[in-house]
Amino acid sequence: MKMTFRWFGEGNDLIPLEHVKQIPGVEGIVWALHDIPAGEEWPLDRIMEVKELANQHGFHIDVVESVNVHEDIKLGLPTRDRYIANYKRTIEKLAQAGVKVICYNFMPVFDWTRTDLFKELEDGSTALFFENAKIKDLEPMELVKEIAGNSTLTMPGWEPDRLQSLSRLFEQYKGVTEEDLWANLQFFLEEIIPVAEENNIKMAIHPDDPPFSVFGLPRIIINKENIQRFLKLVDRPANGLTLCSGSLGANPTNNVAEMIREFADRIHFAHIRNVNTYENGDFIETSHRSSDGTVDILGIMKAYHEIGFTGYARPDHGRHIWGEKCRPGYGLYDRGLGIMYLWGIWDLLERTKKEEALCYQSMKI
């Protein structure tokens, strides 16, 4: 398992790379050019600037999260050809910088949806929260104003240029069905995957967050059956997954450990985080510890260990603790604690495996 840490770039992150370097076992940063609008080609000089900065701190930049997919591609509009061409050229440039995995998503309009960025937990920490009834009661623009007004940092998926066109986007998605979205995703994959293969890059789709319809928008990467269908759209190794335990875990019927075992050879990137779900459909993000939420993090790590996972992983969202002022969901402290919890499980599994092997050898003797 190759541990990484998501970092949003100089001037757009409150966490110095010098501090990330002090977290044991972190090999690389997960990054993106967040100021480049979705659909536009990434400049090679900007990509190389990130590579040079990361290298100065001993990190690789093997994983990009995300190269966003333009809405015209998701909608299947005639203009999608231009944006797909830009995407292909961006893949080629990222390959020149040594990138191995591109995380992306195919969620209409919103990359993720929460109703509260700093919901207080019993211990005084705060975390990202989803209130089901509020989503049903609010108009999309009301949520946008409330969420955007609670953060001083640009949030991926909630960039101002995208939010300014929200009304138009919702109008465009009227009548777009899940089957329409499947067809548009397949068209995108058929264009992109051969280019990724030529450049030794793995494409890793992120599940929808949350894994069910929000504001009536179609969502398709939501459960095991749909992931099976997705992988068959273009059934090649470069077409794979960012398996996010938190996104999928927001639906308690999803068995994430089972998915890890089933999709083992197609998981190119692992997001590991915990949520606590409620019967009314609400959920809140928690610490990574298994007993703090409803996602079986211990079972998930055991599944990754059983399949011999050697891919990239990162601690996904964490709480905001110890008074830290940070990007919603992306504080240094709780993600650092999360990494150590994950390594603790992994180290125990490694030791147990070695001890069992030694025991088996001694029995043979």
Residues assigned a catalytic role: 206, 244, 271, 316-317, 330
DSSP string, 228-239: HHHHHHT-STTE
Which tokens hold the place of 103?
């995380």
Nearest of 202, 184, 7, 26 to residue 104 by alpha carbon: 202
Instruction: Say if residue 210 is preceded by a cis peptide, omega within 30 of 0.
Output: yes
Which tokens hold the place of 315?
């601690």
Which tokens hold the place of 350?
């490694």
Nearest of 161, 251, 159 to residue 214 by alpha carbon: 251
Which tokens hold the place of 48?
């190389």
Report the C-alpha gap between 221 and 210 in whole angstroms: 10
Which tokens hold the place of 363?
């029995």
Helices then strands, each counted (H, E), the chain: 14, 12
**Dihedral of CA 8/14/20/23: which sign?**
negative
